[in-house]
């Protein structure tokens, strides 16, 4: 082997070690970056959900229209002078 080939081989091995060797290889670094990006997207989605839930909680505590809607839907409450009705199907088939 000539001195040039040995130098080239040493440089090639050094380049491979730089890319693949060490505690974290370049491949590991790319995987960690992708994982970090995915986690940041999940955090953004959770922040959006948290913000919307907080807006709903504030509306339930302070907005009388929302409170009335919940009382009517969840508890069947009615105002004075209103009548409730329900449709009951006959369970006997004809």
Domain with 70, as residue range(s), is 3-75
> How do residues 21-70 score in pLDDT, each as one tens digit?
777 777 888 899 999 999 999 999 999 999 999 999 999 999 999 999 99
Average pLDDT over residues 63-82: 87
DSSP secondary structure code for residue 85 in this structure: -
Report how many domains make up the chain.
1
Residue 57: inside a domain: yes
Cβ-count burial 61-87 (b if 16+ within 10 Å, e if not): eeeeeeeeeeeeeeeeeeeeeeeeeee
Residue 57 Cα to chain centre, angstroms: 20
The pLDDT score that the predictor gives to residue 42 is: 97
Residue 55: inside a domain: yes
């Amino acid at each position: 082997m000539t001195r040039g080939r040995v130098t080239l081989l040493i440089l090639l091995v050094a380049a491979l070690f730089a890319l693949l060797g060490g505690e974290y290889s370049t491949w590991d670094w790319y995987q960690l970056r992708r994982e970090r990006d995915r986690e940041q997207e999940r955090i953004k989605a959770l922040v959006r959900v948290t913000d919307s839930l907080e807006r709903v909680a504030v509306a339930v505590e302070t907005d009388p229209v929302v409170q009335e809607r919940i009382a009517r839907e969840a508890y069947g409450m009615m105002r004075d002078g209103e009548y409730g009705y329900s449709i009951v199907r006959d369970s006997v088939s004809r």
